[in-house]
Amino acid sequence: MFLLLYAFIVTLFLLYKLLQHKEEYFLRKAIPYAKPKFIVGSREDFLLRNSALTETVRKWYNEFPNDKVSGIFEFSTPAFIVRDPKLLKKLTVKDFDSFPDHRMFLSEEADPLFGRALFSLQGQKWRDMRSTLSPAFTGSKMRQMFELVSSVGQQVATTLNAQIKNGGDSSFEFKELARKFTVDTIATCAFGIEVNSFAHPKNDFIRISGKISNFNSFLTMLKFIGYFMIPKLMRLLKVRIFDEETTDFFQKAINETMRIRERDGIIRHDMINLLIQAKQGKLTHEKEIEKKTIDGFATVEESQVGLSTVTRKWTDEDLYAQCFIFFFAGFDTVSTVMSFMAYELMVNTDAQKKLQKEIDEMNEVLEGKQVNYEQIQGMKYMDQVVCETLRLWPPAPAVDRICVKDYEMEYDDKKYLVEKGKVFYIPIFGIHHDGRYFENPEKFDPERFSEENRRNIDPDTYIPFGLGPRNCIGSRFALMELKTIIYYLLLNFDFVPTAKSQIPLKIAKNPTQLQAENGIWVGFSPRK
């Protein structure tokens, strides 16, 4: 017992000395930094679960308001917070070759789904996979898929209308409702499978989506902490974030879909078709010159990624991982934004009525027929509401980049070395809530994105889908989903508060996800 106690005390002492030594990293560079706490560094929220992710990012951002760069400690590892928009653009676009990757804390061996997914890939493999997948997310592909998305949106509204008129519930936890819509949309657009989660709420897609979205469990938190603190040991032990059932589900769903299509010669313009071509080594993709925009805000051209003809032959596991990350990102992040958008429209009735007026006018022109891609893209106030929701509630409050070669950081009168392997964070939530860039930043105000006001916004300060060539590849699809579900729901219902609605909204103390404390409950009142 004495030896165990002695070993424990020595270990704590060594950890303390290690953290004390690490502090010198920022002192030598004359960078202000958050004083680290023993063991946890600057991430006590991760271990103690005492702060929402948004508040953690806000704290990082506001701690040194007059400095473009500051430091934090992820447990004992120093990391940079870059808060200046112009410097961020330089690092992520002009000097992209020095910071092309996200930190990969899950290896392919440890977790075949997460580790092989586009978000986790690094170097040339990431470039090749980005090139392979880019054709699935062009404007022309969105037009082809929109009819499927629109049909699901119309089906949702019709089902809910019938349910309410027959005396069923008219109050919904909106993220659960949105999850069903996004799961159905992705199942049909990516897998070519019709699910109808409203008629069959216990289907396998919904069940699996519930499992993989539960990042808030204690066991999952321990796994993430392990990958932060002892990544080599976690990889050696092959600790997986997701269980074998989840992996097997995606493998079987994709294999069966591919088998039927190859057997029957079925061609659909979706991700599965793209992956079949990639698997056969038949897919070639030249640089895409089309410039992407996010509701009027220009983003980096795909050609800047250095995309070139891809002849790499992908393994089955590589393809499973891309379907998984498309499914995961598509249903969880999009349903989160949808729920916050519904909340803001519920409590800001003037904005809701103005959007309904625009929707009614479009429906009158269409004479009740389905809206098409160009028409919904042309709805100006819808754009404003979506933009303002993404500003106020960005689905990823912060994202990282890792330095892949020694880089000389230079700004103002400072110059210092950022060593290979060091990480910096883009504090998106902090920038979006900075009063210097957005007047009265805590207010939901779609008018700030009107045509006359939009020009007053520095585009480098509005980054809901990230920055540079590593920005979100699925942003177009996400925007299409957002607009479609809101169009059909507000065409048929008013969003009203219920006894379960938490107003004002409180954010859950979840260190990994943007989540409402008690959910977002919205009442649906059928319009007359």
- Asked, for residue 55, whether it belongs to a domain, the answer is no
Kindly tell me if the per-residue pLDDT of 287 is higher than 60. Answer: no
Decide if 88 contacts 57 (C-beta within 8 A): no
Query: Alpha-carbon distance 182 to 482, whole Å?
Result: 9
CB atoms within 10 A of CB 230: 13
Q: Answer with the residue of higher pLDDT: 516 or 228.
A: 516
State the average pLDDT over residues 288-301.
46
- 391-105-276 Cα angle (round to 5): 80
Give the CATH number, domain containing residue 273: 1.10.630.10
Question: What's the structural domain count of the chain?
Answer: 1
pLDDT tens by residue, 87-105: 999 999 999 999 999 987 6
Quote the CA–CA distance of 514 and 340 in Å, as a whole number: 10
Across residues 314-326, what is the average pLDDT?
79
Residue 484 pLDDT? 94
- For 389, which DSSP code? H
Q: 252 pLDDT band (50/70/90 cuts)?
A: confident
What is the average per-residue pLDDT within 471-495? 93
Nearest to 342 by CA among 478, 475, 487: 487
Pairing of strands 77-82, 423-426: parallel
- Please check the confidence at residue 36 and state whether its pLDDT lies above 60: yes
Least confident residue range of 59-73, 253-267, 367-381, 396-410? 253-267
Residue among 137, 158, 159, 224 nearest 472 (CA): 137
Q: Is pLDDT larger for residue 494 or for residue 302?
A: 494
| Higher pLDDT pick, 272 / 394 | 394
Boundaries of domain holding 425: 84-526
Query: Do the domain assignments include residue 179?
Result: yes
Q: What is the mean pLDDT of residues 418-433?
A: 97
526/473 Cα distance (integer angstroms): 36
Residue 98: the pLDDT is: 97
Compare 472 and 218 and report the one with higher pLDDT: 472
| pLDDT band at 304; cut points 50, 70, 90 | very low
pLDDT above 90: percentage of residues in the chain: 46
Is there a domain that residue 371 lies in?
A: yes
pLDDT digits (tens, 9 = 90+) for 373-394: 999 999 999 999 999 999 999 9
Taking the whole predicted model, whether its pTM rises above 0.85 is answered as yes
Number of other residues whose CB lies within 10 A of the CB of residue 388: 22
Q: How far apart are CA 501 and CA 522, in angstroms?
A: 7
User: Is 193 among the domain residues?
Assistant: yes
CA distance 496 to 156: 18
Domain assignment present for 437: yes
Which sign, positive or negative, has the C-alpha torsion 231, 237, 243, 245?
positive
The reported pLDDT for the residue numbered 264 is: 78
**Is position 492 within any domain?**
yes
**Amino acid 205: pLDDT:** 82
Q: Which distant-in-sequence residues (6+ apart) come within 8 Å of 524 by Cβ?
A: 160, 164, 170, 171, 172, 489, 493, 494, 495, 496
Across all residues in the chain, what is the average pLDDT? Answer: 84
Among 139-148, 320-329, 386-395, 418-427, the least confident range: 320-329
Percent of the chain with pLDDT over 70: 84
Please, what is the Cα angle at 242 between 177 and 516, to 5 degrees? 35
- Give the chain's radius of gyration (CA, Å): 24
In the block, tokens 């009614």 appear at 360
The model's confidence at residue 56, banded by pLDDT at 50, 70 and 90, is very high
pLDDT score recorded for residue 214: 64
Give the residue with greater pLDDT, 228 vs 309: 228
Q: What is the dihedral of CA 80, 81, 83, 89, to 10 degrees?
A: 50
**Feature table: binding site for heme:** 472
What is the DSSP-derived secondary structure letter of residue 369? P
Tell me whether residue 416 is in a domain: yes
Annotated binding site: 472
Does residue 36 lie in a domain region? no
The pLDDT of residue 15: 58
